[in-house]
Structure 1
Amino acid sequence: MLVVEAKLKNGTPEQYQKLDEAIRTSQFVRNTCVRYWMDNKGITRNDLQKLCSTLAKNKDTPWVTLLNSQARQSAADRAWQSINRFYQNCGAPTRHLTAHVAAPSSRAKISGKKGFPKFKKYSRSVEYKLTGYKLSDDRRKIKFSDGFKAGEFDLWCSQRTLVYYSEQQIRRVRVVRRADGCYCQFLIDVERQENHEPTGQVTGIDLGLKEFYTDAQGNTVDNLRYLRRSEKRLKKAR
């Protein structure tokens, strides 16, 4: 998978609020799936997918219906990934670390964490699959068409443009909320073939403050200082 990221621009405050509501709804579905797994034995991934349909039909949670059905399934998949990772960690051997403390005779054993699934408090993303959005023909705009009706946004992409890829290649669309705005990540199914020819050379890298890094050959990469450049905008945002 190739990830192409673009910033969502030129939206109204109401539109961004709708995206936040979609993110919170995805978080609710994911946490509900985790609770359902904790309260019932023998739960499978298919059971969590069925739970998404049940939540949409529940009169106590009418807002779940506004979220796209495939986005609800993606939230359930995220919950299952955490559960499956917990099962894998339980099957792995536990590592113990013996640490000496103040008295030589007293020792503490620290065991490796199993990663029990936790509830998300501050989710920052919602993921769509193949529906719930529509790209413009020139790939410069995206319109979210699920029940929240967030509307249309401009796509500002600095690395790659989406015109090189067809809609059939886009397998996922993830909306991510960050401190400086909302971003849209496109997961594109492409075949990448890279041939690496070993040179047999070894180099060293020195990280610094003035330059981001300097290698053994004297080549440097500038430190862009993103925080310093964003301080004025951060102060205004407060």
Structure 2
Amino acid sequence: MIIYEFKVKGKDKQYHAIDDAIRTSQFIQNKALRYWMDNKKIGKYDLNKYCAVLAAEFPFADELNSMARQSAAERAWSAISRFYNNCKRKVKGKKGYPKFKKNCRSVEYKTSGWKLSDTRKAITFSDKKGIGTLKLKGTYDLNYYDIKQIKRVRLVRRADGYYAQFAIDVNITVETQPTNQIVGIDLGLKYFIADNKGNVEQSPQFYRKSEKQLNRANRKKSKKFSKDRNKANQKQSINYHKARNRYARKHLRVSRQRKEYCKRVAYSVIQSNDLVVYEDLNVKGLVRHRNLAKSISDAGWSTFRSWLEYFGHKYGKVTVAVPPHNTSQNCSSCGKKVKKSLSTRTHVCPHCGYVEDRDVNAAVNILRLGLSTVGHTGTYAWGDLPSWAIGVNLSSNGESANQESQCL
């Protein structure tokens, strides 16, 4: 399963229709979740049947395509099933009880409600929302694929416009020649990655470099915010929404820079090695650190891991995640534990005299741990569903995990 993304061009009236379809999809998703809360022993197909009840009760829900309504209910069931699985596996901490959506940014269609033009450069939506025909702007060519291979079509709203995503059911595996190389990777803040051979990749720190511009744009946005309008439940001024959009576009640029960087590094690592061993980090827990939360979020470890797993599956390479416990503390030469703080960047073993960079020493331990045990082969950064398989049931946050890029 791959996802191709195009920017869509239309009129303001069509953009308003897309926004209306997104709000309707959010409404159905929340109604399905409430229906599950109020009734016992509710399953996936019960939520799909409930979509027809909502369409009969609310005229604006009936305007949305029937399969788009089912897709919204499936999003609710995806959150419910994830909660059930976490309870069965007795996951520590919060189990992820489903929450109502407040700011959805996408609406998803299945195999009906849309039609591509003969040139595959435009798409027409035929439901009663009035979206109509939208032009597709992008470098991908959909003529290579049969219409039956397109399983999902999603319209996404972002700060810089609207996009159409196509989930295409194809075999993504590619045969490559073995390199006879193995590598252990340590993820860090000083270096983005460090391997067991001593090679390091500097952390780009895209957010840190753009922080002044982001703060300036945020201040301009705040100055245009009216407290009196907010108390009176009135809409903010047009200038405020323009400033908010400029601020959101800057954040979008930073996130895209980070994503492309993680993609390039992951592609290079996979192409150069047959076995890649890395840390099974709990990033959600690490970002709770009050002093390092911003730096950890800026590093993009989860994004890098998801792309590493995707390219590993695509090119037939083995990726293994191992527990990170004491990989930085243990000496890679004698195996004895040498305690050191985060500020200590050089590993000096008092037992055997081994001296090495802290991250390189950890990478050697990670590789040795991956070779001595099976590790967590087959686990994925974002849950049981692998990152390369996302697309059959797309999430509602407007992001696709395995979107291909012409840069590769």
Tell me which interval the TM-score lies in, with the shorter structure as reference length. 0.7 to 0.9
Hey, what does 1:79 align to over in structure 2? 76
Relative to structure 1, the CA distance from residue 156 to residue 90 in structure 2 (aligned partners, 3 Å threshold; closer, same or farther) is same
Relative to structure 1, the CA distance from residue 38 to residue 137 in structure 2 (aligned partners, 3 Å threshold; closer, same or farther) is same
Does the 8 Å contact 2:30/2:100 carry over to 1? yes
Listed as ranges, the gaps of 5+ residues in structure 1 are 96-111
In structure 2, give the amino acid aligned to 1:55: L
Hey, what does 2:64 align to over in structure 1? 67
- State the Cα distance separating 1:204 from its structure 2 match: 6.5
- State the Cα distance separating 1:214 from its structure 2 match: 10
Hey, what does 2:134 align to over in structure 1? 153
Q: Is 1:115 equivalent to 2:96 in the alignment?
A: yes
Hey, what does 2:5 align to over in structure 1? 5
Whole-angstrom distance in 2 between the partners of 1:94 and 1:207: 26
- State the Cα distance separating 1:180 from its structure 2 match: 0.6
Whole-angstrom distance in 2 between the partners of 1:157 and 1:92: 43
- State the Cα distance separating 1:218 from its structure 2 match: 8.8
Hey, what does 1:142 align to over in structure 2? 123
Whole-angstrom distance in 2 between the partners of 1:118 and 1:169: 32
Whole-angstrom distance in 2 between the partners of 1:37 and 1:151: 34
In structure 2, give the amino acid aligned to 1:56: A
Whole-angstrom distance in 2 between the partners of 1:218 and 1:47: 52
Hey, what does 2:149 align to over in structure 1? 169
- State the Cα distance separating 1:151 from its structure 2 match: 1.3
Q: For each residue in 1:86-126, what CA deviation from the matched residue of structure 2 results, as whole angstroms up to 9, or x when unmatched?
A: 1101111243xxxxxxxxxxxxxxxx111001000000011
Whole-angstrom distance in 2 between the partners of 1:206 and 1:118: 32
- State the Cα distance separating 1:213 from its structure 2 match: 8.7
Q: CA RMSD in A?
A: 3.1
Number of matched residues?
A: 214
Listed as ranges, the gaps of 5+ residues in structure 2 are 221-238, 244-408
> Which structure ranks higher in relative contact order (CA pairs < 8 Å, sequence separation ≥ 6)?
1
Q: For each residue in 1:170-221, what CA deviation from the matched residue of structure 2 results, as whole angstroms up to 9, or x when unmatched?
A: 110011111111111100011122235253143879999xxx999977999x
Higher relative strand content: 1
- State the Cα distance separating 1:166 from its structure 2 match: 1.4
Whole-angstrom distance in 2 between the partners of 1:7 and 1:205: 36
Whole-angstrom distance in 2 between the partners of 1:157 and 1:205: 36
SS at match of 2:111: coil
In structure 2, give the amino acid aligned to 1:83: I
In structure 2, give the amino acid aligned to 1:161: D
In structure 2, give the amino acid aligned to 1:154: K
In structure 2, give the amino acid aligned to 1:190: V
SS at match of 1:202: strand
SS at match of 2:183: coil
Which residue, 145, 169, 172 being the options, matches 1:192? 172
Q: What TM-score, normalized by structure 2, do the two folds share? A: 0.47
Does the 8 Å contact 2:71/2:109 carry over to 1? yes
In structure 2, give the amino acid aligned to 1:189: D
Does the 8 Å contact 2:5/2:166 carry over to 1? yes
Higher relative helix content: 2
Relative to structure 1, the CA distance from residue 117 to residue 199 in structure 2 (aligned partners, 3 Å threshold; closer, same or farther) is same
Q: What TM-score, normalized by structure 1, do the two folds share? A: 0.78
Which runs of structure 2 are paired with 1:194-233 in the superposition (5 Å)? 194-196=174-176, 197-202=178-183
Does the 8 Å contact 2:185/2:193 carry over to 1? no
SS at match of 2:98: coil
